[in-house]
Amino acid sequence: MTQSFETLQIHAGANPDPATGARQVPIYQTTAYVFRDAEHAAKLFNLEEVGYIYSRLTNPTVAALQERVAMLEGGAGAVACSSGHAAQIMALFPLMGPGRNIVASTRLYGGTITQFSQTIKRFGWSCTFVDFDDLDAVKAAIDDDTRAVFCESIANPGGYITDIRAIADVADAAGIPLIVDNTSATPYLCRPIEHGATLVVHSLTKYLTGNGTVTGGVVVDSGKFDWSASDKFPSLSAPEPAYHGLKFHEALGPMAFTFHGIAIGLRDLGMTLNPQAAHYTLMGIETLSLRMDKHVANARTVAEWLETHDAVEAVTYAGLPSSPYYHRVDTVCPKGAGALFTIALKGGYDACVKLVDSLELFSHVANLGDARSLVIHSASTTHRQLSPEQQEAAGAAPNVVRLSIGIEAAADIIADLSQALDKASA
């Protein structure tokens, strides 16, 4: 990239408004856009000219956000959608069909494990979960019907960092794309495309917006995958029956996936991000680097303090030298291992519940990546639908509490944890 991340997070995708000169990206609160004439309308519907038709497909505020996230991730294009989970379906939709499968890491956000192990079956899709530290197992799990490999860069919540390059090489050798959920890291800490990922998905809900106001998601395409190299991806390489036989890859090259996401995905699945939410997220991204530096610094300070506490059995933060994944920080996320980690308490399940109930500065919520410090007992909430084995594998055992460290003063965060741990171990 020519400009630095700190400049792009403020300027990418945002030109002064052509109608008014407004410096900030306006909220284009409109459903539809007037066509110049009948020919203009026809060209827009034929994808011969790029423009706005209807806000289920495209909207100028949402488009500014898409361009900004694509540039920050080093991608060719992006499609915003209504949630992180919607982004996952939108990423898979052009690749999959009945009978097809994906191979995913066991270390994922709890909701993603449920989406992949249960809900996608309704589409005739399936998922095989594998330990992504075992490259031979990943290779062995890929079969002729596999259409994608899926992992998180920094996995939520267990303090696990994926060796993205190694997994990308396995996917590449099999001729299928690697999809990386980069929610916990953000493009400031990790840029999966530089490590060989084809697609990056985000929950905008978390650090990108950064203050717990929005539900949103985005799919970023690297533009580098050759969809026509095999007959595995007919939605992109063969005539698409849902778009009067257009061959997306042939017609649109590196923008094929992005245009398919809008022209078919948003058009027919309708998981659209609204312009108000896009505006909040654009505001959030302007300060992303500043916030992430503070999140990381606080997380490191708090994790170091917790590691020495008598009531604490273990701290799984990849930013601690004691973590088995510490050695991956320098290559995968050189600016830090994020601000999300778990602690295991010697007092087990009961102590965890007592801790959560005793914290005052921390909010007990099912969210992460907020400016505020947040806490949750994953086993009884976000990872409740999982089997004990799945909970263990995902780093959400019953004696474990997840912390999302905010950007308050580190001393105040530690003081709150200190008083609550005293109560939990009394």
Task: Return residues touching ligand PLP (CB under 6 A).
Answer: 83-85, 109, 111-112, 152, 156, 181, 183-184, 203, 205-206, 215, 217, 368
What is the C-alpha to C-alpha distance for residues 2 and 288, in angstroms, rounded to an integer?
19
Residues 91/97, Cβ–Cβ less than 8 Å: no
Q: 215 or 316: whose CB is closer to ligand PLP? A: 215
What is the C-alpha to C-alpha distance for residues 199 and 300, in angstroms, rounded to an integer?
29
Q: 337 or 414: whose CB is closer to ligand PLP? A: 337
User: Which has the closest alpha carbon to 164: 142, 146, 182?
Assistant: 182
Q: 163 or 240: whose CB is closer to ligand PLP? A: 163
User: In the bound complex, what is the minimum distance in angstroms from residue 366's beta carbon to ligand PLP?
Assistant: 9
Helix, strand counts (H, E) of the chain: 18, 14
Closest residue to ligand PLP in the complex (CB): 84
Edge-to-edge strands of the sheet including 400-404? 312-316, 340-345, 400-404, 374-376, 363-364
Residue type, 151: C
**Do β-strands 199-203 and 340-345 pair in parallel, antiparallel, or remain unpaired?**
unpaired
User: Which has the closest alpha carbon to 353: 388, 378, 390?
Assistant: 378
Q: 264 or 374: whose CB is closer to ligand PLP? A: 374
DSSP three-state, residue 312: strand
User: In the bound complex, what is the minimum distance in angstroms from residue 403's beta carbon to ligand PLP?
Assistant: 14
Edge-to-edge strands of the sheet including 101-105? 77-81, 217-221, 199-203, 178-181, 146-152, 101-105, 126-130
User: In the bound complex, what is the minimum distance in angstroms from residue 26's beta carbon to ligand PLP?
Assistant: 24
Q: 105 or 237: whose CB is closer to ligand PLP? A: 105
Task: State both tokens at 215.
Answer: 């539900």
Please provide the size of the chain in residues. 426
Helix 84-92 to helix 110-117 angle (10° resolution) is 40
Q: 139 or 372: whose CB is closer to ligand PLP? A: 372
User: In the bound complex, what is the minimum distance in angstroms from residue 16's beta carbon to ligand PLP?
Assistant: 31
Q: 58 or 162: whose CB is closer to ligand PLP? A: 162
Q: 117 or 203: whose CB is closer to ligand PLP? A: 203
> Dihedral (C-alpha) 186, 368, 401, 311: value to the nearest 10 degrees?
80
Running DSSP on this structure, what letter comes out for residue 203? E
Running DSSP on this structure, what letter comes out for residue 295? H
| Residue where the block lists tokens 């999809």 | 179
Contacting residues for 45 by C-beta, under 8 A, at least 6 apart: 53
User: In the bound complex, what is the minimum distance in angstroms from residue 329's beta carbon to ligand PLP?
Assistant: 18
Q: 101 or 162: whose CB is closer to ligand PLP? A: 162
Q: 82 or 235: whose CB is closer to ligand PLP? A: 82
| Beta pairing partners, 200 | 180, 220
What is the C-alpha to C-alpha distance for residues 411 and 302, in angstroms, rounded to an integer?
9
User: In the bound complex, what is the minimum distance in angstroms from residue 183's beta carbon to ligand PLP?
Assistant: 4
User: Which has the closest alpha carbon to 1: 168, 185, 194, 146?
Assistant: 194
Q: 83 or 222: whose CB is closer to ligand PLP? A: 83
What is the C-alpha to C-alpha distance for residues 353 and 251, in angstroms, rounded to an integer?
56
